[in-house]
Amino acid sequence: MLEHESLSTDILVVGSGIAGMIAAIEARKAGAEVVLASRRKLGKESSTAVARTFAFGSEEETKGRNMPGYDNKPGKYIEDWTLVKSLSEEAPVQIENLISLGVPMVRIPADKGYEKLPSYRPTGSDAAHGGAIVLDILGPVARKLGIRVVEGCQITNLLRDEGRIAGASGLRQDGGWLAIHARAVILATGGAAGMSEVTCSSREVCGNGYAMALKAGIHLKNMEFNEYYPVGLPTPRGQHVHCAPLTLMMKGACLRNEAGEDVVKNHFGISVQEAMPTTTMRFDWLPRAVALEMERGKVHLDLTGVPAEDWDRLPERNWRQIRQTHVDLKRTLLPIMPMSIAFRGGISVDARRWPGRGGWGT
């Protein structure tokens, strides 16, 4: 028989990535009692732990160019632009917030390659994942502030009371069942990119929060709005690895369909080297072009025409990705697949209740 335990709090935060950690810290600083429930050790379960940098930019910085078949606002019919504006305005504020909490951030300026947005990396991220560094610093901050951390607890259900969410319950690693009653619940459980067959996300990022919300009768929207990276490289393990932009930007690199045609040039009238620096091209439109071509056959990465000097300049991190294919890409074409990287849909929220604009949403 399962052992049952219950506790009460003002705010329950589910998930200990950067979203959950900051939400818990800000709620605690505002005077609320906070419980932070984490599936694993604090700060070790999330997509944040494998993030390298934190980037943001204005619409002007991210817009694309005019070209046939290209629309630089792929989400214009389904995105809530009030929320988009709130997020973009909040980003630099939250970078400063991280710094105030003790995270040593270094600003990386935009370059002439593919990083068109300024970004920030925690000091030491050249040798480790920047996100992991952030979480390692925020964890002790959360505990010092008096946030109650519940580790090793898989939250599975939202609790309802007279039509409102009144907490959540889940299974602990020791086999016990835990119910947490709260005045408000913040779901920071990540997206669902891990459900895709080909993904660079953790398989554990599989929509748990969406499932709990849906089961509790909460409205979800834009669940079809996903983001992909155009080139996933197959490995002998049956998995795919991300092919970094610098590899695709080498002179002579090309994506070819079964007929040997240049996929990017066919769809957009430019080369893959010209397309990669534009963020929306890289994550929204190139994957669409690859997917359309795959309806008729395989799409291959062709690096056989890359000159020796470009190979010599390729960073080691790119070589690590290439070596995992066990294929000599200097001489052999390799079939590729688009990779799921993000899930843009979710629970409907009210931008007027955004943090810093009158309080927390419900």
Domains for the chain: give ranges and CATH numbers: 4-53+75-102+124-224+346-353 (3.50.50.60), 226-342 (3.90.700.10)
The encoded tokens of residue 160 equal: 């309802």
pLDDT band at 112; cut points 50, 70, 90 = low
Q: How far is CA 107 from the centre of its chain?
A: 20
The encoded tokens of residue 135 equal: 């979480």
Helices 18-29 and 130-144, packing angle to 10 deg: 30
Q: How far is CA 361 from the centre of its chain?
A: 21
> Which range (13-27, 57-71, 254-268, 330-344) has the least confidence?
57-71
Residues 230 and 224: their CA atoms lie apart, in Å, by 18
| Burial (Cβ within 10 Å: 0-12, 13-18, ≥19) of residue 255 | buried
Per-residue pLDDT at 64: 45
**pLDDT over 50 at 236, yes or no:** yes
Residues 129 and 52: their CA atoms lie apart, in Å, by 5
Q: State the average pLDDT over residues 99-118.
A: 75
pLDDT in tens, 172-209: 988 899 999 999 999 999 888 888 888 887 788 888 99
How wide is the angle at C-alpha 105 spanned by C-alphas 244 and 24, nearest 5°?
Answer: 100
Q: What is the pTM of this model?
A: 0.82
Query: Which residues are CB-contacts of 87 (< 8 A; sequence separation ≥ 6)?
Result: none
